[in-house]
Amino acid sequence: MIQSVAFIGLGAMGYRMASHLPKHFDTVYVWNRNFDKAKQHAIEYGTQAVELSQAVQADVIFSCLPTSADVEALIETLNIKSGAIWVDCTSGVPTSAQKLAELLKIQNIDFLDAPVSGQTIGAETATLTVMIGGDTEAFERALPAVQAFGKLIKHVGASGAGFAVKAVNNMLMAVNLCAATEGLSTLKAHGVNLNEALDCINASSGKSNATETILPQRVMNRTFPLSFALPLLAKDTGIAVDLVRQAKLSAPIIGLTQSLIQVANDTAESNSDFSSVVKMYETWSKITIE
């Protein structure tokens, strides 16, 4: 029975995810490196802004940080309560999850990798998808806490499996976006109206989230709003190719897409949204996707 929960890392996602916890639990600790944000969260949602050392005395401790390296650095310094479950919602590295799970097991602490998808809107409306790797018993114990912000919650495998699914998902998104950009550039070069073409594709077998959502809402309206930074996509697609290498598989399209995302990231302006990968193609072809 979960008595207390904590949320570490109140970024764009974490701030909103943590906002749902007080509806289900009496004791909700929050902590953030910039501590003012934690204090503001406490005022806004009735959570408790506490020292990190106190936060990790909760039964379930959520974290949502930029990278696995950040999570590792943090955990190293902490005395976490024995019997606690650490639920890491970072889009992290599978091997890091395995390492942390092993390390914390010795201290009688469970570690679940539990990355989320659904963007800030999903965090706000508590409709995130959560893909979880780790021990089955820990998954079941943590479930009621995860349900505070998650709608589709899946136990996808052992430690690292959650991170793996997230990395592959983001890789598929990157592939689909690059391919759609290539395809639409080609059509425009041949005088085709892109809005009409996209309508047809979105009613046909070639549709994807890239053609249905990303291109219309971020690219063709020329907004490229910064909500998921390109360097983070490059990190995630990098995790996916590392998974391919570790399994000694041949995944040519995944490999090539990583090369393209890498170039996009290396040549993009700072603070670019992931959708800016389209701009790389536009620089090459002098064809604007609009």
Alpha-helical (H) ranges within 33-189 are: 35-45, 52-55, 68-76, 94-106, 119-124, 136-146, 161-189
Catalytic residue among 39, 151, 166, 279: 166
Rounded to whole angstroms, the Cα distance separating 19 from 4 reads: 14
Distance from the Cα of residue 200 to its chain's centroid: 30
> How far apart are CB 46 and a second copy at their closest, in Å?
30
42 C-beta neighbours (distance < 10 Å), count:
17
Residue 29: CB minimum distance to a second copy, A: 28
Three-state SS across 157-191? Answer: ECCCHHHHHHHHHHHHHHHHHHHHHHHHHHHHHCC
Q: 222 CB contacts (<8 Å, ≥6 apart)?
A: 290
Q: Give the nearer residue to a second copy in terms of CB position, either 53 or 217.
A: 217
Indicate the SS3 state at residue 112.
strand
Instruction: Name which of 59, 71, 2 is nearest 33 in CA terms.
Output: 71
Q: Which is nearer to a second copy, 8 or 233 (CB)?
A: 233
**Residues of span 50-109 touching a second copy by CB under 8 A:** 94
Residue number with CB closer to a second copy (77 or 204): 204
Token readout for 25 is 């639990």
Q: Segment contacting a second copy (CB under 8 A): 12-20, 33-41, 43-51, 163-171?
A: 163-171
Name which position in 18, 146, 254, 278 contacts a second copy (CB under 8 A).
254
| Nearest-angstrom CA–CA distance, 280 and 224 | 13
Q: One symbol per residue from 260 to 279: x for binding a second copy (CB under 8 A), - otherwise; what is it?
A: x-xx--xx------------
Which residues fall within 8 angstroms of residue 200, CB to CB, at 6 or more apart? none
In whole angstroms, give the CA distance from residue 197 to residue 172.
22
Nearer to a second copy, 41 or 155 (CB): 155
CB of 278 to a second copy, least distance (A): 13
**Residues of this chain, 172-201, that bind a second copy according to CB under 8 A:** 172-173, 175-176, 178-180, 182-187, 189-193, 196-197, 199-201
Q: H or E element: which one contains 30?
A: strand 27-31
Q: Does 161 bind a second copy (CB under 8 A)?
A: yes
Catalytic: 37? no
Nearer to a second copy, 9 or 160 (CB): 160
User: Which of residues 154, 216, 224, 288 is near a second copy by CB under 8 A?
Assistant: 154
* Whole-number Å distance between alpha carbons of 83 and 256: 44
Considering only residues 191 through 250, tell me which ones interact with a second copy, judged by CB under 8 A. Answer: 191-193, 196-197, 199-201, 203-211, 213-214, 238, 240-250
Which span sits near a second copy by CB under 8 A: 17-25, 67-75, 83-91, 280-288? 280-288
Which residue's entry shows tokens 């399994």? 247
Q: Which stretch binds a second copy (CB under 8 A): 3-11, 15-23, 48-56, 151-159?
A: 151-159
Kindly state the smallest distance separating residue 47's Cβ from a second copy, in Å: 27
Q: How far is the CB of 261 from a second copy (least distance, A)?
A: 9
Spatial separation of the C-alpha atoms in residues 193 and 205, rounded to whole Å: 19
In this structure, are residues 236 and 274 in contact, taking their beta carbons and an 8 Å threshold? no
Residue number, 49 or 260, with CB nearest to a second copy: 260
Which residues belong to the active site? 166
